[in-house]
Copies of this chain bind each other. A is one copy, B any other.
Amino acid sequence: MSQRVLRMGMIGGGRGAFIGAVHRVAAALDHEAALTAGCFSSDPDRSRASGRDLGVPGARVYGTWRDMLDRETRLPPGDRIDFVTIVTPNAAHYEPALAFIEAGFHIACDKPLVTTSAQAARLIAAAERSGSIALVTYNYSGYPMVKEARHRVRSGGLGPIRRVVVEYNQGWLATNLEASGQKQASWRVDPARAGAGGAIGDIGSHAEQLLSYVTGLEIESLCADLGAFVPGRALDDDAAMLLRFRPQGGVQARGLLLASQVEIGHENDLRLRVHGERGSLEWRQEEPNALTLRIGDMPEQVLRRGNGYLSPAAQQAGRIPPGHPEGFLEAFANVYRGFFRAVRACGDPAPGASTIVSGQIAPGAPWRVAPETCDFPGLLDGARGVRFIERAVASAASAEKWTAFDGA
Q: Which residues of A are at the interface with B, using a C-beta cutoff of 8 A?
A: 1-2, 5, 18, 21-22, 24-25, 28-31, 52-55, 162-163, 165, 167, 170-172, 174, 223, 225, 227, 229, 238, 240-242, 244, 251, 254, 256, 258, 260, 262-269, 273, 275-280, 285-289, 293-304, 306-309, 319-330, 398-402
Contacts and interface: CB of A to CB of B under 8 A. Distances in A.
Contact of A401 (B323, B324, B327, B399): B399
A215 to B, nearest CB: 15
B309 A297 contact: yes
Given A398-B401, A400-B400, A400-B401, A2 B55 contact: yes
A296 to B, nearest CB: 7
A326 B329 contact: yes
A399 B297 CA distance: 37
A181 B183 CA distance: 54
Given A244-B225, A269-B323, A299 B302 contact: yes
B328 A329 contact: no
Given A28-B28, A171-B275, A223-B242, 16 more contacts: A25-B29, A171-B280, A174-B277, A223-B225, A240-B254, A264-B275, A264-B295, A264-B296, A267-B322, A297-B308, A302-B302, A324-B328, A325-B328, A326-B327, A399-B402, A401-B401
A307 B298 CA distance: 9
A163 B168 CA distance: 13
A272 to B, nearest CB: 13
B400 A163 contact: no
Q: Which of A18, A400, A401 has the most CB of B within 10 A?
A: A401
Contacts of A322: 267-268
Nearest to A55: B2
Contact of A268 (B269, B294, B321): B321
Given A302-B300, A325-B328, A251 B229 contact: yes
Contact of A329 (B18, B254, B320, B401): B320
Nearest to A18: B321
A327 to B, nearest CB: 4
Nearest to A165: B258
B254 A225 contact: yes
Q: List the 5 shortest-distance A-B pairs measured between CB atoms, nearest first.
A: A265-B294, A267-B323, A268-B323, A325-B327, A327-B327
Q: Which of A55, A254, A265, A309 has the most CB of B within 10 A?
A: A265
A11 to B, nearest CB: 19
A163 B328 contact: no
A334 to B, nearest CB: 13
Nearest to A300: B302
A278 B263 CA distance: 10
Contacts of A171: 275, 280, 294
A307 B299 contact: yes
A343 B320 CA distance: 28
28 contacts: A24-B31, A28-B28, A31-B54, A162-B229, A162-B238, A163-B238, A174-B275, A225-B254, A240-B242, A256-B256, A260-B275, A263-B273, A264-B278, A267-B321, A267-B324, A269-B323, A285-B323, A286-B289, A293-B299, A297-B307, A299-B301, A299-B302, A299-B303, A299-B304, A300-B301, A325-B325, A325-B328, A327-B327
Contacts of A280: 171, 263-266
Contacts of A293: 299
A25 B21 CA distance: 16
A251 B240 CA distance: 17
Contact of A5 (B55, B266, B307): B55
Contact of A29 (B29, B273, B299, B307): B29
A266 B329 CA distance: 24
A265 B308 contact: no
B399 A268 contact: no
A293 B31 CA distance: 39
